[in-house]
Amino acid sequence: MQTDTDTKTDYSTLIADLARKGRAAQRKLARASDEEKAAGLRAAAKAIRADAPAILEANARDMAAGEERGLTGAMLDRLKLDEDRLDAIASAIENVASLPDPVGEIIDESTSPSNFGLVRRRIPIGLIGIIYESRPNVTADAAALCLRSGNAALLRGGSEAIHSNRALHAAFVKGLAEAGLPADAIQLMPTQDREAVGAMLKAAGLVDMIVPRGGKGLVARVQQDARVPVLAHLDGICHTYIHADADPAMARAIAVNAKMRRTGICGAMETLLIDANFPKGAEVLAAIADAGCELRGDERAQKLDPRVKPATAEDWDTEYLDAILSVAVVDDIDAAMEHIAAHSSGHTEAIITDNEEAAQRFLNEVDSAIVMHNASTQFADGGEFGLGAEIGIATGRLHARGPVALEGLTTYKWQVLGSGQARP
Amino acid sequence: MQTDTDTKTDYSTLIADLARKGRAAQRKLARASDEEKAAGLRAAAKAIRADAPAILEANARDMAAGEERGLTGAMLDRLKLDEDRLDAIASAIENVASLPDPVGEIIDESTSPSNFGLVRRRIPIGLIGIIYESRPNVTADAAALCLRSGNAALLRGGSEAIHSNRALHAAFVKGLAEAGLPADAIQLMPTQDREAVGAMLKAAGLVDMIVPRGGKGLVARVQQDARVPVLAHLDGICHTYIHADADPAMARAIAVNAKMRRTGICGAMETLLIDANFPKGAEVLAAIADAGCELRGDERAQKLDPRVKPATAEDWDTEYLDAILSVAVVDDIDAAMEHIAAHSSGHTEAIITDNEEAAQRFLNEVDSAIVMHNASTQFADGGEFGLGAEIGIATGRLHARGPVALEGLTTYKWQVLGSGQARP
């Protein structure tokens, strides 16, 4: 890592130069039609399929280097590409090409008091920075979503995937250029030096938004250092509350799914709140424990199943991302919502109940990006919401929340349609 | 100004305490109905009318102190309250009470691939910090808009208006309390120490958004120091482009209005671009000069009227907020849009033309928050857009752009309406 002042200055110059090129390309992209952008993405997918041998060879170099550096099996699996995975990457780009273009969409129209027409119209945000870790598919996914919504992207992937990312990026922009779109619309950071990331995070006015994709360490660092607006979630401490009037079979099925379907995703349940008046809490906990989950609970939860270990204060604020669940028994819906207000990360919370009034209270009063009634928190995903894809999930309160897809990569302008009006 | 470390620590504790109270009040407010919030605002207006003698007496103290400190006539005028102005403040609150409540509005609804219902519903943002200068009416205006949209506010006005602000705030929250709403929803910063403002700007996670209202110095300082998202505009360097096919009488009337109606507002035109093929440029410039405006232009503009002085490079990037206008003659619409891309602050730009194709290009390609066809840039205002009121105008690219009113003070959540779905 370089730290002397001269080098820092160079990195801000580098970022300014990349931003200048990206923004110039974006201005061209902003004028591209729906069909031109879709054709560009289909050409990018085709180029990735055609370049499969070179991309897989580059990936093999990353894999060899990763094995030498002693990456864990899970990390190597995230890094690995093969014919099937590469085909899935190309297909995902084609899927984004088939999504409706958000640019130009009219949000609302009206006539002003002075009788001019007013149209609020969606436009691209501009230049989006994407900072991600070892999965090379993010290179193509993020590039495709940015391009579909008329944005330029500056991509900075993990060092362990550098050869894979470069090969994927080269194929992607070759496709764009073949389709007549500016290759500079999608740029890959030319250095892996962390100081360059620092300069990117500080580049307010040059980079319009940063989306970090990766673990909590990465997201926390980006949120801490950025002067550019960041769209992200730090934690997914998701709660499921089983209300007194929950259907026991539904409660059991949803709770097991919310925790155990995939324990490592941000929408996995981390805390289960059981209403003291729900008669089948023991059966639900038994099903979760039988599925191989460690349970840590308060005193009342411990009485429901002998396998429940005592929870510490820290457990209520922990995103395990593993087969571990914290469990509390609560007196009523107010106590459940109080627990959630105190410990939630604002990602996704669910209530299981057949009581419509309780459901409405929960849906209206719990202040998270996603609130659910009678569904598994594992559904917290842009694809499952029918958005076609997602650039990530955001738990901030401004701009976009929950799963962020194409619409979240747009902003709007006001168009005033006058007939000679001067303001009185 | 206090600078020792202990005192700084106290200010972050103070802000945390104010935020805790504000957020608790906001949670109650989020559950208040449309009618309850409207009734609260009407009660606040009534309390301000009832407290007029005390408020005017407090204002007289500010005015006396201001005169003693040698404030300019313009500053004293901004500070001054009288019966009429106080009535206008109360009426403005009643007007906000009559605006539709944005909270609970459904943005869109759909059915997911797994057949659960999805509703995107507007909710308040949370706790909004408002930092403003000498106009005491902002205390009531900002409080009313925040309350109408279910948000809590932390207000920090200028020191020169401290007694007026305290008296207005006291009346406002007395009204709220009488109507059964939490008085802590609208808090006034209890100290004028600038270090407390600094702590407020850094309070990410406690304060959800900051809106600075005032001159460029204030906005620049807030944007520089804030870790909390800021909604604002720094400059309003607004352009009007008179296209070759503009109606000469319309061009003249709009140009004079855009510059001279009120020169001190952010929507005032600062640069006029005249197409070289527009035949009546001299008449337009003569009309503006005759209205008492100083003209600074490029060589071709100087040839149109002897009163046009040479412009320096700095003129193209200057927001005069005065009876001064920079003027350039441009070859065509592309040259006009290039000039705007290079010098605009992204606030408001207008084209005057009878050529629909040129108008469409300008409306689509100029990348400012507001783009106008055949209208005066002085219309860049929430009231003129029919929004009923505005908290300010934003030129950032995320969340809200242009005039920001109640909708810009909301965010949304996703409500998932399931029937027992577990994710496959």
Q: How confident is the model at residue A389 (pLDDT cuts 50, 70, 90)?
A: confident
Most A CBs within 10 A among B31, B269, B377, B421, hence the mutation to make, goes to B421
Strand pairing class (B127-132; B152-156): parallel
Residues A279 and A378 in one domain: yes
What beta strand segments (E) does A112-235 contain? 117-124, 127-132, 152-156, 186-188, 209-213
Tens digits of per-residue pLDDT, B38-84? 999 999 999 999 999 999 999 999 999 999 999 999 899 999 999 99
| A385, A414, A416 ranked by CB distance to B112: nearest | A385
Tens digits of per-residue pLDDT, B12-27? 999 999 999 999 999 9
Is residue A187 within 8 A of residue A20, CB to CB? The reply is no
Is residue A216 within 8 A of residue A249, CB to CB? The reply is no
Q: What pLDDT is stored for residue B9 in this prediction?
A: 57
Tens digits of per-residue pLDDT, A144-174? 999 999 999 999 999 999 999 999 999 999 9
Q: Counting beta carbons within 10 angstroms of the beta carbon of residue A324, is it exposed (0 to 12), middle (13 to 18) or buried (19 or more)?
A: middle
Helix (H) or strand (E) holding B421: strand B410-421
Residue A423 lies in a domain: no
Q: How confident is the model at residue A3 (pLDDT cuts 50, 70, 90)?
A: very low
- Token readout for A264 is 């490592």
Q: What is the dihedral of CA B191, B209, A198, A27, to 10 degrees?
A: -140
Residues B127 and B196 in one domain: yes
Residues A196 and A316 in one domain: no
Residues B157 and B208 in one domain: yes
Q: How confident is the model at residue B4 (pLDDT cuts 50, 70, 90)?
A: very low
Q: Is the pLDDT of residue A35 over 60?
A: yes
Tens digits of per-residue pLDDT, A355-371? 999 999 999 999 999 99
Residues A224 and A259 in one domain: no
- The one-character DSSP state at A377 is G
Residues A50 and A176 in one domain: yes
Is there a contact between A418 and B126 if contact means CB atoms under 8 Å apart? no
Q: Is the pLDDT of residue A5 over 70?
A: no
Residue B284 lies in a domain: yes
Which residues in chain A (29-58) have CB-CB distances under 8 A to chain B?
A: 30-31
* Chain A residue with minimum CA distance to B27: A365
Question: What values do phi and psi take at B127, rounded to 5?
Answer: -115, 120
* Range A35-49 average pLDDT: 98
Residues 6+ apart with CB under 8 A from A217: none
- The one-character DSSP state at A125 is -
Q: Give the closest residue to B19 by CA, choosing from B202, B141, B231.
A: B202
Residue A98 sits in a domain whose CATH number is 3.40.605.10
Q: Give the closest residue to B183 by CA, choosing from B197, B195, B169.
A: B169
Q: In whole angstroms, give the CA distance from residue B239 to residue B340.
A: 7
Q: Is the pLDDT of residue B278 over 90?
A: yes
For residues A8 and B269, the model is more confident at B269
B110 has a chain A CB within 8 A of its CB: yes
Task: State the nearest Cα–Cα gap between A96 and chain B, in angstroms.
Answer: 17
AA letter at A183: A
Q: In whole angstroms, give the CA distance from residue B375 to residue A397.
A: 35
Show residues of chain A in contact with B114, CB under 8 Å. Answer: 379, 384
Show residues of chain A in contact with B386, CB under 8 Å. Answer: 110-113, 118
Q: How confident is the model at residue A10 (pLDDT cuts 50, 70, 90)?
A: confident
| B125, B364, B373 ranked by CB distance to A417: nearest | B373
Q: In whole angstroms, give the CA distance from residue B244 to residue B79.
A: 45
Residue A391 lies in a domain: no
Residue B349 sits in a domain whose CATH number is 3.40.309.10
Q: How confident is the model at residue B2 (pLDDT cuts 50, 70, 90)?
A: very low
B342 has a chain A CB within 8 A of its CB: no
CB atoms within 10 A of CB B8: 15
3-class DSSP assignment, residue A205 = coil
Residues A51 and A153 in one domain: yes
Show residues of chain B in contact with A399, CB under 8 Å. Answer: 398-399
Residue B11 lies in a domain: yes
Residue B203 lies in a domain: yes
* Range A319-331 average pLDDT: 97
| Structural domain that includes position A283 | 238-384
Is there a contact between B401 and A414 if contact means CB atoms under 8 Å apart? yes
ipTM score assigned to the predicted complex: 0.94
Tens digits of per-residue pLDDT, B176-213? 999 999 999 999 999 999 999 999 999 999 999 999 99
Residues B309 and B369 in one domain: yes
| A208, A261, A413 ranked by CB distance to B368: nearest | A413
- The one-character DSSP state at B208 is -
Bin A257: left if φ > 0, else alpha if -120 < ψ < 50, else beta.
alpha
Residues A214 and A335 in one domain: no
Show residues of chain A in contact with B150, CB under 8 Å. Answer: none
Tens digits of per-residue pLDDT, B312-357? 999 999 999 999 999 999 999 999 999 999 999 999 999 999 999 9
| A110, A368, A373 ranked by CB distance to B386: nearest | A110
Is residue A256 within 8 A of residue A223, CB to CB? The reply is no
Q: In whole angstroms, give the CA distance from residue A70 to residue A282.
A: 43
- The one-character DSSP state at A103 is T
Is there a contact between B364 and A261 if contact means CB atoms under 8 Å apart? no
Q: Is the pLDDT of residue B170 over 60?
A: yes
Is residue B372 within 8 A of residue A416, CB to CB? The reply is yes
The count of domains in chain B is 2
What beta strand segments (E) does A204-291 contain? 209-213, 238-242, 269-275
Most B CBs within 10 A among A333, A415, A423, hence the mutation to make, goes to A423
Q: How confident is the model at residue A2 (pLDDT cuts 50, 70, 90)?
A: very low
Residues A71 and A201 in one domain: yes
Q: What pLDDT is stored for residue B83 in this prediction?
A: 97
Rg (alpha carbons) of chain A, rounded to whole number: 24
B415 has a chain A CB within 8 A of its CB: yes
Helix (H) or strand (E) holding B209: strand B209-213
**Rounded to two decimals, what is the model's pTM?**
0.94
A228 has a chain B CB within 8 A of its CB: no
Q: In whole angstroms, give the CA distance from residue B202 to residue A259.
A: 36
Q: Scanning the structure block, which residue is given the tokens 């600078």?
A: B3
How remote is the C-alpha of A377 from its chain's centroid?
15
Residues A115 and A142 in one domain: yes
Residue B399 lies in a domain: no
Q: Is the pLDDT of residue A8 over 70?
A: no
Q: Give the closest residue to B260 by CA, choosing from B282, B291, B231.
A: B291
Residues B33 and B167 in one domain: yes
Measured over the CA atoms of residue A256, residue A258, residue A261 and residue A263, the dihedral's sign is negative
Q: Scanning the structure block, which residue is given the tokens 């620590």?
A: B9
Tens digits of per-residue pLDDT, A253-262? 999 999 999 9
Question: What values do phi and psi take at A237, rounded to 5?
Answer: -90, 85
Q: Is the pLDDT of residue A133 over 80?
A: yes
Task: State the nearest Cα–Cα gap between B17 and chain A, in angstroms.
Answer: 16
- Token readout for B189 is 């910063």
* Chain A residue with minimum CA distance to B258: A422
